[in-house]
Amino acid sequence: MTDPGSDEHRDGISRRRLLAVAGAAAGGLVVGGLAGGAVGVASASGDDGSSTGTVAFHGEHQAGIATAAQDRLLFASYDVVTPRRADLEKMLREWTAAAERLTAGQPVGDPATSAALPPTDTGEAEGLHPARLTLTVGFGPTLFELEGTDRFGLAAQRPDALVDLPAFPGDALEADRSGGDLCIQACGDDPQVLFHAVRNLTRIGRGVVRLRWSQEGFGRTSSTTASQATPRNLLGFKDGTDNLRAGTAELDDSVWATADDGSAWMAGGSYMVTRRIRNLIEVWDRTSLAEQERVIGRVRATGAPLGSSSERDPIDLAAKDAAGLPLIDPDAHVAVANQDALGIHILRRGYNFTDGLDPRVGQLDAGLFFIAYQRDPRAQFIPMQQRLAASDLLNEYIKHVGSAVFAVPPGLQPGQWWGQGLMES
């Protein structure tokens, strides 16, 4: 992976250069086209982000799921405030056109022709690298049905898999950090590029959607491809070792919905669960290393399962020490969440977060913004979280304070728009 701070990364095609290329194309040079006549550089690197700093917007699946996890997140959840379906549809078309340009490193819309008007693009990404920006849209349960009302005539299209998550023991959810009718997951390697993207989408959506909550994240807590090194979470442990990897049949089977799953418009899409999980780091920091490792079930330094020497060694839940005691506590996090034992796999794609001091308790508001993709939360996240909530040793050190679930539709081909499959089904 290209280190966002490296020279190689900075030498990638800059936003300014993309604009220059776009200008040349307008003058007759063909460099690749995007829908709607906008001109961009087709991703030379596919989804590995290695050379150009762009990730293709179009494809079978939305980018930002199996894409090699970028370093930063800006997540935005919205309420739809218009009662009119036509407004919503129009905004989704405009969002798509803007997202095509933003992910190609271009400003939204054409430059304003009059100094008397506000600029069409807010300008803060001018001169910045595209930073492997991906924008992934999702639809929450309340878009389909809000307090028993079918605001947009979409209730019949609600996928069975888009359930309201049940309450889990220990949940301390805050309404203003949970739920949402629509979401945008913006990932990339430059927080200013992410801010620019979400700000402009929010601006385009004014009068149709209102931001409900947002979350910034850093230091990706997952690796989603075989070539990515495993990063560390704020507890200091490697996170993402036993994750699904892009390009494997296991990911395909566990992440992508099919037409047979019940909703034809969701074929090639996925279901996203987000949980804002506070780490009680002050308590964790007073815990011995041995206890920390017992709680997780892995060695902090290497990431190896307890009793093993390498990160990639398989987890053996039956292994015993000389005294006959299990090397990995049956209630350790990796034992309770053990995917092979459960026969359940999810794609984790979360981020560390901190929102500074929580004045209510005088402690850092920091933790893991957990994001998981799966084919059906009823068969994957929900049973896994039910087990974790019941017995995970980690529960003493964490608190789930935010929660949301979204149907993430499939990817688009040029000319299609976000939500088209849903609206036209």
If binding is defined by CB under 6 A, does position 398 make contact with ligand HEM? Answer: yes
Comparison of 77 and 352: residue with beta carbon closer to ligand HEM: 352
Closest of 91, 95, 118, 90 to residue 108, by C-alpha: 95
Residue 329 interacts with ligand HEM (CB under 6 A): yes or no: no
Asked whether position 339 contacts ligand HEM by CB under 6 A, the answer is: yes
Which one, 76 or 277, has the nearer CB to ligand HEM?
277
- Stretch of 114-122, 139-147, 334-342, 356-364 contacting ligand HEM, by CB under 6 A: 334-342
Out of 56, 368, 393, 405, the only residue in the binding site for ligand HEM (CB under 6 A) is 368
Judge residue 110's burial from the number of C-beta atoms within 10 Å of its C-beta, 0-12 exposed, 13-18 middle, 19 or more buried.
exposed
* Torsion from C-alpha of 332, 217, 140, 91, nearest 10 degrees: -170
- Bridge partners of 399, per DSSP, are 278
| Burial class for 323, CB neighbours closer than 10 Å (0-12, 13-18, 19+) | exposed
Q: Nearest residue by C-beta to ligand HEM? A: 242
Six token digits for residue 171: 């949940």
Contact with ligand HEM (CB under 6 A) among 100, 239, 293, 365: 239
Q: How far is the CB of 155 from ligand HEM (least distance, A)?
A: 28
In whole angstroms, the minimum distance from the beta carbon of 277 to ligand HEM comes to 4
Bridge partners of 184, per DSSP, are: 76, 137
Name which position in 77, 200, 241, 374 contacts ligand HEM (CB under 6 A).
241
Q: How many Å apart are CA 355 and CA 351, to the nearest integer? A: 13
315 lies in the site for ligand HEM, by CB under 6 A: yes
DSSP string, 292-361: HHHHHSB-TTT-PBTT-SSTTSPP-TT-B-TTS-BSS-TTSHHHHT-HHHHT---EE--EEEEEEEETTT
Which residue in the set 101, 275, 349, 375 belongs to the binding site for ligand HEM (CB under 6 A)?
275
Pairing of strands 363-374, 351-358: antiparallel
> What is the closest distance, in whole angstroms, from the C-beta atom of residue 388 to ligand HEM in the complex?
5
Q: Does 121 bind ligand HEM (CB under 6 A)?
A: no
Size of the site for ligand HEM (CB under 6 A): 29
Q: Which of 388, 393, 404, 408 binds ligand HEM (CB under 6 A)?
A: 388
- Report if residue 277 touches ligand HEM, rule: CB under 6 A: yes
Q: What is the contact mask toward ligand HEM in residues 64 to 103, using x (rule: CB under 6 A)? A: ----------------------------------------
172-211 burial by CB neighbour count: b if 16+ within 10 A, else e?
ebeeebbbbbbbbbbbbbbbebbbbbbbbbbebbeebbee
> Binding to ligand HEM by residue 370, rule CB under 6 A?
yes
Nearest C-alpha neighbor of 388 from the set 276, 296, 321: 296
Q: Which residues bind ligand HEM (CB under 6 A)?
A: 233, 235, 237-243, 275, 277, 279, 296, 298, 315, 333-334, 337-339, 346, 367-368, 370, 381, 384-385, 388, 398
